[in-house]
Amino acid sequence: MAVVDQDQAVGRERPAFGNKRDIDEFVEVLGRYERGEISPDDWRRFRLLRGTYGQRQDDVQMMRIKIPQGIVTGQQLRALGDVSEKYSRGFGHITTRQNIQYHFVLLKDAEHAMRDLEQFGMTTREACGNSVRNITSCPYAGVAHDEVFDITPYAEAMTRYFLGHPLSGVLPRKFKIAFEGCPTDHALASIHDLGWFARIVDGRRGFRLTIAGGTSILPISGYLLYEFLPEEQMLEVAEAIVRVYHRFGDYQHRQRNRMKFLIRQLGWDGWRAKYEEALAEVRAEGGVPFKLSPRALQPEQAPDWAPAAAPSVDDVKRLAARVEVHGPGILPGTVKLQTFSDSYLSWMHTNVGLQRQGGFVHVTVRLPLGDMTAGQMHVLADLAEAYSDGTARLTIEQNVLFRWVKIASLEDLYRRLQAAGLGAAGANTLADVVSCPGAESCRLAVTQSRGLGRTLTEHLDKHPEFVTLVENGDIKISGCPNGCGQHHIAAIGFQGSVRKVGDQAVPQYFVLVGGGSTESGARFGKVVSKIPVRRMTEAIDRLLTMYQGQREPGESLGAFFRRVPPALATDALKDLAQLLPGEATPQDLVDLGDTSAFEMVVMDGECAS
């Protein structure tokens, strides 16, 4: 059983997650594979547990860096930038699980990247593979006006408990955990294997716990296990649930081996009986004592040290441009956004929010497609140390959040963000489109989801009337059914697909509407059409026009599409969905983000290897 010191997770003093022994073991196992002492399958399973994932291109890897709760320091941001410059394409990608990914990394460079990051406390361990994945949490924890309590130390404690846990790397498939302290489910905890929602009952802290949520081929909102679980039982309950999953999960069928399928197989009562047995077993072994220290329970305080000197605007420009991005795929800077005369006011409206602590705000740095260059990472590090508290939080919307920004410093911060190409307004609006990497690199993807993401981002930027119309709504894109772009729970979601028109392959997207996180849990979008990729901007216009004309006062985009019959959306898109033999233009046959004719290539994925 793993052990965790609860005094470790206190404020900004954060001990390392990285471990040199993990990297030494990676090198040793790689050597055994290269000498033919272990099979390719054994090597693949091992490297996945060390965050090294095969791409659709030969001889290059995707590397995923585990960023617990998305929290990074200025030093770590610089190290992440340096690694992207030395071993990848000069930029990194923020995922919907608050990780950092690099693509097109040579296997020979994986060790060096790991060692560079370990020096600053970061790890790739259990970032991929059949493991307890990165534990995510609400980015507003500690500063939100309406949070029940700050869930940061609890998420931190659970991360340290399961990192390197004996069962963490030998599960039937991936296992996901999220923490939320606000009434709004910013962390989307309802679609996780363990969803922890902060509660206080009779003066005691604890959690509402849901289990076995998920998306992909069987979208399910988590089942309620406890309406209130006292905080001191948190780790032993999690331990018991993981034991049951390890013992009874399906190791043979990769499409049916998430925890949601285990509960389906055993039935709720059958699963609950296994769980109660495992919990009794854990407690008979002495349990998993958990109690936060008084220091860890103290509310987060404003920085009490002198901030670093802010770089000049000219220095920011030079630093941001220091590294040239390169390589295949859609590169940062290729998403073209307009500049408006009221840009600062627009940015204030969409990217800045008041903290519960007077005099401070949190600022969202919007990153189109979730990308930031090596130079921009260095700039963000400098700005975090000059204007924030020396840290930043990566969000599931693929952005960067600064907290503890003084209101009086906002304009200076904005000018420097603008100089680095990071001053785009529209964070967390309809225009802030979320996308998985798609067929640019992923072995399972059907379509170039980043190409559609760029197209829709630019289209909505040119139509601000639609963006201002939708006060609450989002667009998410995945290149396959697995849902790494979380399209199932978007107000408007797109899932990559293909259709045959005669003997020609045409890239298309399933259109889903009505998804979202609600007070009753996750709601999943319904498929209303299948639209060729080159018609997607027209499809968006029609769906938003329908919302404009038929919404009720204060109704969100997702709630609107849950209220109206799906057939209305289907009918509005009917002619766009039709494409008969002989009607396809040469452009219809080319995916967004590509220049050559579309060819469906879906490879054997490594998600469940």
- pLDDT tens for 236-256 read 999 999 999 999 999 988 778
Same domain, 140 and 114: no
Domain membership of residue 597 (yes or no) is: no
Same domain, 214 and 111: no
Same domain, 48 and 186: no
At residue 399, the pLDDT reads 98
Same domain, 51 and 173: no
- DSSP letter for 466, please: H
At residue 607, the pLDDT reads 62
At residue 6, the pLDDT reads 40
Domain membership of residue 602 (yes or no) is: no
At residue 255, the pLDDT reads 77
Strands 352-354 and 360-365: antiparallel
Same domain, 440 and 491: yes
Q: Is the pLDDT of residue 54 over 70?
A: yes
Structure tokens at 473: 């709504």
At residue 518, the pLDDT reads 82
For the chain, give the mean pLDDT: 94
At residue 11, the pLDDT reads 47
Range 525-547 average pLDDT:
97
Do residues 139 and 94 lie in contact, with contact meaning Cβ atoms separated by under 8 Å?
no
Same domain, 250 and 144: yes
From 75, 90, 118, the end of a domain falls on: 118
Checking phi first, is residue 21 left (phi over 0); if not, alpha (psi -120 to 50) or beta?
alpha
Q: Looking at the 3D structure of the chain, how many domains does it have? A: 3
Domain membership of residue 26 (yes or no) is: yes
5-9, 80-84, 150-154, 353-357: segment of lowest average pLDDT:
5-9
Same domain, 74 and 174: no
Q: Which whole-number Å values give the CA distances from 241 to 2, 180, 204, 248, 295, in the listed order?
A: 15, 19, 23, 11, 29
Query: How do residues 59-116 score in pLDDT, each as one tens digit?
Result: 999 999 999 999 999 999 999 999 999 999 999 999 999 999 999 999 999 999 999 9
Query: How do residues 281-325 score in pLDDT, each as one tens digit?
Result: 999 999 999 989 888 888 899 999 999 999 999 999 999 999 999
Query: How do residues 357-404 score in pLDDT, each as one tens digit?
Result: 999 999 999 999 999 999 999 999 999 999 999 999 999 999 999 999
What pTM value is reported for the model?
A: 0.95
Same domain, 109 and 145: no
Query: How do residues 197-230 score in pLDDT, each as one tens digit?
Result: 999 999 999 999 999 999 988 899 999 999 999 9
Q: Is the pLDDT of residue 604 over 80?
A: no
Q: 72 by DSSP, 3-state: which? A: strand
113-127, 414-428, 584-598: segment of lowest average pLDDT:
584-598
Checking phi first, is residue 97 left (phi over 0); if not, alpha (psi -120 to 50) or beta?
alpha
Structure tokens at 249: 């999960």
At residue 606, the pLDDT reads 67
Domain membership of residue 366 (yes or no) is: no
Same domain, 159 and 236: yes
At residue 602, the pLDDT reads 67
From 297, 324, 341, the end of a domain falls on: 297
Q: Is the pLDDT of residue 8 over 80?
A: no
At residue 609, the pLDDT reads 52
At residue 7, the pLDDT reads 42
Domain membership of residue 529 (yes or no) is: yes
Domain membership of residue 270 (yes or no) is: yes
The pLDDT confidence band at residue 603, using thresholds 50, 70 and 90, is low
Same domain, 70 and 114: yes
Q: Which domain CATH number covers 463?
A: 3.30.413.10
Same domain, 60 and 174: no
Percent of the chain past pLDDT 90, that is, above it, reads 85
Do residues 314 and 424 lie in contact, with contact meaning Cβ atoms separated by under 8 Å?
no
Query: How do residues 170-184 score in pLDDT, each as one tens digit?
Result: 999 999 999 999 999
From 270, 297, 324, the end of a domain falls on: 297
Domain membership of residue 198 (yes or no) is: yes
Whole-angstrom distance, CA of residue 579 vs CA of residue 390 = 53
Provide the domain limits for residue 543.
Answer: 434-589
- DSSP letter for 367, please: -
Domain membership of residue 462 (yes or no) is: yes
Q: Is the pLDDT of residue 337 over 70?
A: yes
Task: Give the residue with greater pLDDT, 506 vs 2.
Answer: 506
Q: Which domain CATH number covers 45?
A: 3.90.480.20
CB burial of 165-202 (b: ≥16 within 10 Å; e: otherwise) equals bebbbebbbbbbbbbbbbeebbbbbbbbbbbbbbbeee
Same domain, 466 and 531: yes
Do residues 431 and 492 lie in contact, with contact meaning Cβ atoms separated by under 8 Å?
no
Q: Is the pLDDT of residue 483 over 50?
A: yes
